[in-house]
Amino acid sequence: MSKYDLIVIGSGPGGYIAAEYAAKQGLHTLIIESDNFGGVCLNKGCIPTKTLLKSSKVLEYLVEANKYGIEGLSKEGISLNWPKIQERKNNVVKQLQNGIGGLLKSAKVEVIKGIATVLSNNTVSVNDTIIEFDKLIVATGSTPRKFTNIPGFEQGYASGKLITSDEALVLSEIPKKLTVIGGGVIGVEFATLYAGLGSQVTILQGVDRILEVLDNDISKEITSLLQKENVNIITNINLVEFKDNNVVYTINGETKVDDADVVLVSVGRVPTSDCVKQIGVNLEKNGSIITNEHMQTNFENIYAIGDCTSRIMLAHTAHKNALVAVDHILNKPNKYEPLKVPSCIYTHPEVASIGYTEEQLIEKNIPYYKGKTPMTHIGKALADGESKGFLKLLVGKEYGEILGCHIVASTASDIISEIALAMELEATIYDLTNTIHPHPTISEIVWETAKKILTDNFKDKKWFKN
């Protein structure tokens, strides 16, 4: 019977990082993967959606070329080759799949393709073979959540009229009318994508605003920007049924019928944890694997990382979880701090956020100062024709520590890394203000906002620390 120091189940963004890191630290490591390398993020999430969104953005540039003094292009003269757009997406995914395979091979990680089942706290079964381990990391990801308890929805999925984000990536054609049920991150990204490609898009949201878990200023800004792109946003709805190939819902007591060509149900994701159920690993009611701060389960030699734990379901969260778990196995210090996890949404312009929202600070009665700078104040944004959005920075009143940052900007997903590093290093408003930002850049908005907060609110303190 084969035995490994570490077995990793799943080669998503957490799994392959854990396996590569562990192997390079000297652990005899095996990774078990049931499908393609890369997990949800690479195959059905982050990468394919961003590749398609880039085509949508290029189309936007072409349509607005006249604004930049480039004439001779007209919207009527531009056509979309959807199969070619899909082909480019597939090529990008394939290249990255091969890259992960190369990383694992160079690290001397052994790979088995198959479905793993954990039999005990030191054995797994795959392809009718039992394999022993000293340590195990479960990185099995998640799947799209479906509504199955609403009348007619199961039939809607079967007919292909109701789809999840998986199917939204491989549609045979761009729908003329697309309805998105759910105004969270995934739903808003797909609304941006297909609206940009010419679909008539409607978002049906069950609460009073889209992106409801983010700072309210971001929700308001993205709502306004989507509406300007003719996305119809309907909030506070209640789903009733799927009938006669249409979604039926109520709003303010009135029954409405949505007649879209395709309906994307985007209402979160469900953790995948079947492989550990039979040995008694502790699970939450939703099936997520319960872990401690070291990513350990109730079995001290079995760890879980990424989406299957229902911690923040982001690829880079899984990356961090992977390092925390392997470092614990190696007796090295590391920790996961949810408040320091940045999140990004790839709308046009992008959204990025980290730390507390302003609403959370008010709720928790944490004293703070805030600064908010519109992108129209930034020279590079105006030069680029990308002046939509803002940056909002939240800092502690006494010491100026960074409590949160919320950005809507063309490069928000890049800018947020500066704030993440600052928070990791426990930097303050003084440090941000005294960091030289190159001019002209979009990232200058960080310096502009920090400087304003400091000069307006910390008048009795020096800019430079001794």
Delineate the domains of the chain, giving CATH numbers in brackets: 3-144+270-339 (3.50.50.60), 153-267 (3.50.50.60), 349-457 (3.30.390.30)
At 153 the pLDDT is 96
At 214 the pLDDT is 97
Q: Residue 291 pLDDT > 50, yes or no?
A: yes
- HEC string of the chain equals CCEEEEEEECCCCCHHHHHHHHHHCCCCEEEEECCCCCHHHHHHCHHHHHHHHHHHHHHHHHHCHHHHCCCCCCHHHCCCCHHHHHHHHHHHHHHHHHHHHHHHHHCCCEEEECCEEEEECCEEEECCEEEEEEEEEECCCEEECCCCCCCCHHHHHHHCCEECHHHHCCCCCCCCEEEEECCCHHHHHHHHHHHHCCCEEEEECCCCCCCCCCCHHHHHHHHHHHHHCCCEEECCCEEEEEECCEEEEEECCEEEEECCCEEEECCCEEECCHHHHHHCCCECCCCCECCCCCCECCCCCEEECHHHHCCCCCHHHHHHHHHHHHHHHCCCCCCCCHHHCCEEECCCCEEEEEECCHHHHHHHCCCEEEEEEEHHHCHHHHHHCCCCCEEEEEEECCCCEEEEEEEEECCHHHHHHHHHHHHHCCCEHHHHHHCCCCCCCCCHHHHHHHHHHHHHHCCCCCCCCC
Residue 466 confidence class, pLDDT cut points 50, 70, 90:
very low
pTM (two decimals): 0.94
Residue-wise pLDDT tens digits, 388-405: 999 999 999 989 999 999
Q: What is the mean pLDDT of residues 155-174?
A: 96
At 241 the pLDDT is 97
Residue 460 confidence class, pLDDT cut points 50, 70, 90:
low
Catalytic hit among 319, 328, 348, 439: 439
Q: Is residue 439 among the annotated active site residues? A: yes
Q: What is the mean pLDDT of residues 399-421?
A: 97
